[in-house]
Amino acid sequence: MSNSNVPPPKIFKPEDGDPGRPKRGMDEDAIKTQPTIFREDLLEGKTVLISGAGSGMGKATAYLAAKLGANVAICGRTMEKLDSTVEMIRDGLGKEILSVQTNIRSPEEVEDLIGTVHDHFGGLDTLVNNAGGQFPQDAIDFSRKGWLAVIDTNLNGTWWMMQEAAKRWRADGKPGNIVNIVANIERGMPQAAHTCAARAGVIYLSKTLATEWAQWDVRVNCIGPGVIETEGFRMYPEEALKRFHKANPMKMRGNAWDVAEMIAYLASPAARFINGDLIIIDGGQAQWGVIWPAGMPDYFNESGAA
Ligand SMILES: CCCCCCCCCCC/C=C/C(=O)SCCNC(=O)CCNC(=O)[C@H](O)C(C)(C)COP(=O)(O)OP(=O)(O)OC[C@H]1O[C@@H](n2cnc3c(N)ncnc32)[C@H](O)[C@@H]1OP(=O)(O)O
Ligand SMILES: NC(=O)C1=CN([C@@H]2O[C@H](COP(=O)(O)OP(=O)(O)OC[C@H]3O[C@@H](n4cnc5c(N)ncnc54)[C@H](OP(=O)(O)O)[C@@H]3O)[C@@H](O)[C@H]2O)C=CC1
């Protein structure tokens, strides 16, 4: 345990009406001052690569991994966002990390990324596939380009990253660890069917590879977040954002740190026997409700939906 003198994180509920509540996720000061339950050298000497780490959960995870002693590499499509993470870690922790502009949809860029991480740090211990996203829309209205964009990012992009990392682990005879950020798909995802299909693919891809790749000591797990307040909320109408928390019985939104700490756990030796699993962080949403991010059709009544 560390930081026992730091106050526990504040849980924000929308009804709190807290004017300081970040509307689009944790700001940098909040990330820098979050306490962690973990020992400060938990990931010392380990190399962690996090995709989509210029914002949201990826950014918080990069900070936590660096705070716990890891060598951190990050990627994403937008250099300015990656720079903000590099700067936050430099400023908050006095540490340098590696950032590589990468579109995970491009297998060539992914191959270069994995090579660069190996050249820079001499290997890779944990790959966190966090990059992803979608837009809310009734499935019947998806354009072909829209469908392909979401599948290509969330399923294909995640796969390129997994395969490239695993090829290196097999070639080098080194153990590996993959954490895929997916979503809570248990009740389907109305108005996000494209991402639901992609995430379902990633979950069962991961379960399959957890077996195939165990022979090379490569573990593969998924985390399924529920409603986590991040910059990604910009994709959703204000009216929908006011309802998201009602999809879980706790009536709250999680924050990026909730997910970052689970990722740190999975990257640690404590998780050495966890393989092929899906860990849900959703305040009970899977047992409770369905979200209609673009507005619930009149056909349905209010029960069980947000
Ligand atoms: C996993 C959760 C599911 C959410 C639904 C449940 C309710 C939500 C509850 C809260 C949970 C929040 C979950 C989150 O995941 S938030 C964080 C994730 N971050 C994001 O989603 C932001 C990033 N998203 C994107 O970048 C894009 O959505 C996309 C993945 C498609 C990126 O593709 P690309 O960069 O190629 O994007 P383009 O803008 O070029 O679009 C390509 C085509 O996609 C169609 N499109 C894009 N946006 C829309 C839209 N708003 N409505 C309809 N169609 C859209 C379109 O065909 C684009 O092509 P054109 O521009 O040529 O028309
Ligand atoms: N917030 C939530 O409630 C939930 C989120 N998720 C998932 O968790 C993950 C993190 O989301 P969150 O932090 O909320 O959202 P953000 O939008 O803040 O983060 C997503 C990151 O992925 C990057 N990204 C998107 N497409 C690509 C690409 N093709 N190549 C490389 N990087 C890419 C984005 O950066 P850039 O555009 O610069 O490339 C961005 O930094 C996503 O996969 C999201 O869908 C799942 C369930 C719930």
76 lines ligand 2 (CB under 6 A): yes
**Domains of the chain and CATH, by start:** 38-287 (3.40.50.720)
Query: Does 297 have pLDDT greater than 60?
Result: yes
Total-model pTM: 0.93
For the record, the structure tokens of 83 come out as 């720079």
Lowest-confidence segment of 1-15, 222-236, 277-291 by average pLDDT: 1-15
Query: Which residues face 30 on adjacent strands?
Result: none
Spatial separation of the C-alpha atoms in residues 144 and 154, rounded to whole Å? 16
- Asked if the model's pLDDT at residue 11 lies above 70, the reply is no
pLDDT digits (tens, 9 = 90+) for 26-45: 999 999 999 999 999 999 99
Taking CA atoms only, the protein residue closest to ligand 1 atom 7 is: 293
What's the gap in Å between 133 CA and the centre of ligand 2? 5
Mean pLDDT along residues 215-233: 96
Mean local confidence (pLDDT), 131-156: 97
Buried b (16+ CB within 10 A) or exposed e, 186-202: ebebbbbbbbbbbbbbb
**283 CB under 6 A from ligand 2?**
no
pLDDT per residue over 184-199, tens digit each?
999 999 999 999 999 9
Q: Is the per-residue pLDDT at 130 higher than 50? A: yes
Pairing between β-strand 218-225 and β-strand 176-181 as defined by DSSP bridges: parallel
134 CA: nearest ligand 1 atom:
28
Rounded distance, CA 47 to CA 71, Å? 5
